[in-house]
Chains A and B, each alone.
Chain A
Amino acid sequence: MIALRDVTFSYKKGRRALDRISLKIDKGEHVAVIGPNASGKTTLAMIMNALLVPDSGDCIVDGVNTRDDAVHARKAVGLVFQDPESQVVARHVRDDVAFGPTNLGLPTGEVEERVYGSLGAVGMESLVDREVSGLSGGQKQLLAIAGVLAMRPSYIVMDEPTSLLDGKGKETVDDAIAGLKKYGIGIVRITHDMPEALCADRAVVLDGGRIIADALPEMVFSDRALLDGIGVEPPYAFKLMRALGRDILTGEVSHICR
């Protein structure tokens, strides 16, 4: 479990980026984090994998405080940045995915197995020999996810992993997330795409560095005042099901919403 207890964090002299955040993420759970720009979502992601250490409060990953052992958290919690250019390190796709496992000192055969397995999970295995510079922005996002998968983390925190992806790419990421959940991996997905949030087990809403809601996505999208406060419209699928008086993702027209 990732457990944050009263976590506060500020950048230099600025206002608090995170203000007394308490939150738990279980293994196998898929949690969406939504909120306006500058609400603290990316800072939260960096706290979870110990790129940042709280000013006060604690982030505990599987029983280990990130303050005491940052390396443990970085191994356990994979982080996919919003901008894939921040994450891609090698000239070729194969070397980029192999970079992490190789640094762990794994034997060549296992590195190779992880490279193909991770690229396969995001539909990129046919591009294994391509140069990274020739990939599109969306393909680089998928590559960044593959690079994190290759480290076999217990949790994956994704900061808008599909912002440059079209339909097929998004579906690939959704499928990959569903697969990871089955293996008991905890997923934290930061998103501005409300249909993505609707598919999560829980939606955590951040505003001004504070958690203003942590509930089932259906509950969050039912709270009009909350959504107006952060300038968010409920997803179309949600509004349609409401208009039909049915539960979301059930009923005869459910597949239209998928």
Chain B
Amino acid sequence: MPVIATGVSHVYRRGEAGEARARDHIDIVIERGEFARIAGAAGSGKTTLLQSLCGLQRPTEGRVAIDGIEAPKARGAAAMAIQFPERALFADTILEDVAFGPTNMGLPKEEAELCAIESAGAVGLEEELLARKPAELSHGQRRLAALAGVIAVKPRYLFLDEPTAGLDPRMRGRVIRALVELNRAGMAIVVASHDLEHFLGVCGRLIVLERGSIAIDGKPDELVTREDVESLGLALPLSIAAARHLSRRGVNVPWNAGPEELAEHVRRMEHEGARPG
């Protein structure tokens, strides 16, 4: 059974000055084992939606069920990595920190530590780092440790808010590879990220929010053909922007074309006397 959100809205400070509606009657289903990405301009409701889907926040209207159980009660079924989750590392050692979730779920210490070691391996965090203090790890290593802590409770659905923000290209690649592996192992992954370029190739579904409502819910290649994409405030990767540009001139280029392939199309157009621009 999936995560089902029905008529979900969230209003911050309802009835007070500064009331703000983050979501507006959203219906959405997150299937087991899928890899989805949520995009949208700053303030479009991405974080609020993630928080509701994983049961961290009760929506002011509507309901969310995780595998048939009302979200806040479906303990352990879904988990969320917040923005800059390494800020929340608090224990003396990384092992203790990663084991906190399983310990809190009632597992004996040894079993919880085994879960922690397994989770660290799953996100690609070197086992020798588990004995270290959080402050002794690099920024990227702390991010991996924080993600290990989130998956240590073995959620079936993992929600992540900007999991690659602030990471260098190598560490970003490690985080994305870890998420792909977790997904292959059956975990549903839902990522809110502005990083369209690096996540598009790995997610099968793209959900775009606009002012709290769903504007797009489909395959990533919809970004090439949809008319309204520019108005949604997305930073389109150049390959997609170029594919959109050329498709309007009757040239079909795949959304994920490499620079050489795209250049070949441009040269062919010029040879035929058409202006690409």
Contacts and interface: CB of A to CB of B under 8 A. Distances in A.
B93 interface: no
Contacts of B171: 36-37
Interface in B1-43: 12-13, 17-18, 20, 39-43
B267 A167 contact: no
Interface in A108-145: 129-131, 134-139, 141-142
A243 B263 contact: yes
Interface string B220-247: 0000000000000111111101100100
Contacts of B194: 138, 164-167, 169-170
A131 B16 CA distance: 11
Interface residues of A, number: 47
A167 B235 contact: yes
B236 A167 contact: yes
Nearest to A140: B42
A252 B275 contact: yes
B167 interface: yes
B238 A257 contact: yes
Interface residues of B, number: 52
Contacts of A138: 41-43, 194
Nearest to B143: A37
A38 interface: yes
A3 B106 CA distance: 57
Interface in B226-277: 233-239, 241-242, 245, 259-260, 262-263, 266-267, 270, 275-277
B73 interface: no
19 contacts: A82-B166, A83-B87, A85-B84, A134-B20, A135-B43, A137-B162, A163-B162, A164-B194, A166-B40, A166-B42, A166-B44, A166-B235, A167-B41, A169-B41, A169-B194, A235-B238, A252-B270, A252-B275, A252-B276
